[in-house]
Amino acid sequence: MCGIVGYIGHRSAGDFLINGLRRLEYRGYDSAGVAVVNGRLDVRKKEGKVSELAELLENNPVTGTVGIGHTRWATHGAPNDINAHPHAASDDRFALIHNGIIENYSAIRAKLREDGYVFTSDTDTEALVHLIDDVQKKTNLPLVEAVRQALTQVKGAYGIVIVSRDEPDQIICARNGSPLLLGVGEGENFIASDASPLIEFTRNVVYLNDGEMAVVRRDGYEVMSIEGATVDKKVHKLEWDIEEIEKGGFEHFMLKEIMEQPEAIENSLRGRIRLESNQIKLGGLEDVMDRFVDAKRIIICACGTSWHSGLVGEYLIEKHARIPVEVEYASEFRYRNPILDEKDVVLVISQSGETADTLAAMRQAQQAGVLTIGVCNVVGSTIARETDAGVYLHVGPEIGVASTKAFTGQVTVLAMIALLLGKERGLLDDEKLRHHLEALMAIPEQIRRMLNTDAKIRQIARDYRFASNFLYLGRGSNFPVALEGALKLKEISYIHAEGYPAAEMKHGPIALIDQFMPVVFIATRDAIYDKVVSNIEEVVARGGTVIAITNDDNEELDPLCEYVIRVPRTTEGFEPLLTVIPLQLLSYHIAVMRGCDVDQPRNLAKSVTVE
């Protein structure tokens, strides 16, 4: 996925673009570039991070008040200067930036080559540039019409923005599958992939939907369908502030977001848990509660960390509401021609609300007439807007590529959903409900206590930072935590790590055990705790090194383990909200000690808006 910005107004376009790209760098950082119109079309682009582009602009500045900028996560063509965006038409009439994949670019490229076009890059994007150029030269239409006609020939996902030397008082943008929004200012207007580049200039935004395009001028904008019909759009007011997306004094966004989880979970619970009346209020579900409560089955679709929180959700919903739950990788669900019943409910979980596979799974469910519910963090994101109903995390922007507060926010929301469904289905009496609500309300302070173990976690990181492999084991609702701990470690420290149900160790992974591979057990005192202790003994008997996470009143594991990290007790099923915290910190400290780029790990992007 890539970051896109555009500006038209009275400011220096170059300054706005480079600062905006810095705000979007978490979306991709293989290469970056800008194109600015000032009587001519000036394009500057370079492999590497936005800081490299900034240096290039220092030495070779652009001037002008209309421009576009792009930070890339490569899908077609290696990260290099040539493949960097923007891509310009052969006569430098216009330049285009693109987020997404043009699926039929090879056919388009072949046809245009026959017509004499020369391709200089390996990107799918360049095919779109020459297609627009070809349409305009053959029809002599204004650029916006040529763009529209060209897009009718394109298959795939795109968010594109175009500036033209010959039509300098406008920027054209179009969206189909990759997010784009307009920022509405005074005598100036903005375009971006998300609100972070523009929030310090305006809080008024217009979200483009798939199949829509816009012509943006200094004094206004028009939104129309790709087919040409005018579309009236609502102007939304942004609710969060710029400091929320700054690092707040922490070395990395990831550490900031780990440390702000107590406040994040308080915000997620705020106004939704009403202890005085022993109620849960999830306004975004009210219109669909009858169908939700009466669900024959709930299918949770997600990717990555969100898939892990979905596994915790399965445990909680089946425990409290006794509705069968299946958790699916969205990428598998969308291509498996799933068997869906009209009484099924598909619940999609996505921090960004833009993950291509999750979006596709949601749309597939909607085509089958199934109720779709979204659990998202980014307000106004595509999944949040297209699902039939949903619940926002309200944990604030998550910038670090490795998801942390989003995971605990997702589990919190899923816990509220499970309790609400259980209550509505008459399976939770007032006393039980109050017990669980009080346990949920205690979580933020308990996380705060967990964060105080940071010094000990740093010591463990120091001891094991050179390990080549880690094994994470847990049972019940802590099995997804084992998966999540392994994912955190591998995605930011590049150490191989696997998560397994603890009982599965005997079916293969135990062959891996030796003194060089740390084994992390999540072993809180629940109904199957004794089984996990047996698994720990099996590892120790084979010379394995064990790091255990258990309850703060449990001394039993001390003789068996190299390290024991203690977490407060909570109601069964809510443990993941606490046991994940030391694993987030462990992966963070190991990655920092290994000199890894924690906020922008290699090969990764914050939201994968391509398949």
Query: Where along the sequence are the contacts to ligand AGP (CB under 6 A)?
Result: 303-306, 350-352, 355, 358, 401-403, 491, 607-608
Q: Is 173 a catalytic residue?
A: no
Output DSSP code: residue 248. T
Please give the C-alpha separations between residue 334 and each of 6, 363, 483, 606, in angstroms, as whole numbers. Answer: 33, 9, 22, 21
Residue in 2, 173, 303, 376 annotated catalytic: 2
Tokens 């500036």 appear where? 163
Q: Choose between 388 and 491: whose C-beta lies nearer to ligand AGP.
A: 491
Q: Choose between 358 and 535: whose C-beta lies nearer to ligand AGP.
A: 358
Least distance in Å: CB of 395 to ligand AGP? Answer: 12
Q: Choose between 64 and 313: whose C-beta lies nearer to ligand AGP.
A: 313
Question: Quick one: which H or E segment has residue 327?
Answer: strand 325-329
Are the C-beta atoms of residues 1 and 73 closer than 8 Å to each other? yes
Q: Choose between 314 and 491: whose C-beta lies nearer to ligand AGP.
A: 491
- Closest listed residue to residue 42, CA positions, set 95, 103, 3: 95
Q: Choose between 25 and 491: whose C-beta lies nearer to ligand AGP.
A: 491
Q: Choose between 50 and 360: whose C-beta lies nearer to ligand AGP.
A: 360
Least distance in Å: CB of 548 to ligand AGP? Answer: 24
Q: Choose between 129 and 384: whose C-beta lies nearer to ligand AGP.
A: 384
- Closest listed residue to residue 497, CA positions, set 404, 575, 591, 561: 591
Q: Choose between 73 and 500: whose C-beta lies nearer to ligand AGP.
A: 73
| Cis preceding linkage at 262, omega within 30 | no
Least distance in Å: CB of 491 to ligand AGP? Answer: 6
Strands 204-207 and 181-184: antiparallel
Least distance in Å: CB of 484 to ligand AGP? Answer: 8
Q: What count of residues does the chain have?
A: 611
3-state secondary structure 286-318: HHHHHHHHCCCEEEEEECHHHHHHHHHHHHHHH
Q: Choose between 47 and 386: whose C-beta lies nearer to ligand AGP.
A: 386
* Alpha-carbon gap, residue 234 to 174, rounded angstroms: 17
* Alpha-carbon gap, residue 361 to 22, rounded angstroms: 31
Least distance in Å: CB of 254 to ligand AGP? Answer: 9
Counting Cα atoms < 13 Å in the Cβ hemisphere of 421 gives 29
Are the C-beta atoms of residues 395 and 265 closer than 8 Å to each other? yes
Long-range contacts of 562-566 (CB under 8 A, 24+ apart): 562/463, 562/518, 563/456, 563/460, 565/453, 565/456, 565/457, 565/460, 566/453
Least distance in Å: CB of 583 to ligand AGP? Answer: 12
Extended strands (E) in 137-263:
156-164, 171-176, 181-184, 189-192, 204-207, 212-217, 220-225, 236-237
Beta bridge partners of residue 497, listed in sequence order: 470
* Alpha-carbon gap, residue 151 to 211, rounded angstroms: 10
Residue in 45, 488, 490, 606 annotated catalytic: 606
Least distance in Å: CB of 408 to ligand AGP? Answer: 12
Question: Quick one: which H or E segment has residue 473?
Answer: strand 469-474
- How many CB atoms are closer than 10 A to CB 431? 8
- Closest listed residue to residue 592, CA positions, set 489, 467, 471: 489
Angle at 425 between CA 423 and CA 426, to 5 degrees: 65
Residue 301 φ/ψ, nearest 5 degrees: -120, 135
Least distance in Å: CB of 150 to ligand AGP? Answer: 30
Which residues, other chains included, contact 277 with Cβ-Cβ below 8 Å and sequence gap of 6+? none
Least distance in Å: CB of 305 to ligand AGP? Answer: 3
Q: Is 319 a catalytic residue?
A: no
Least distance in Å: CB of 289 to ligand AGP? Answer: 25
Q: Choose between 129 and 303: whose C-beta lies nearer to ligand AGP.
A: 303
Catalytic residue IDs: 2, 606
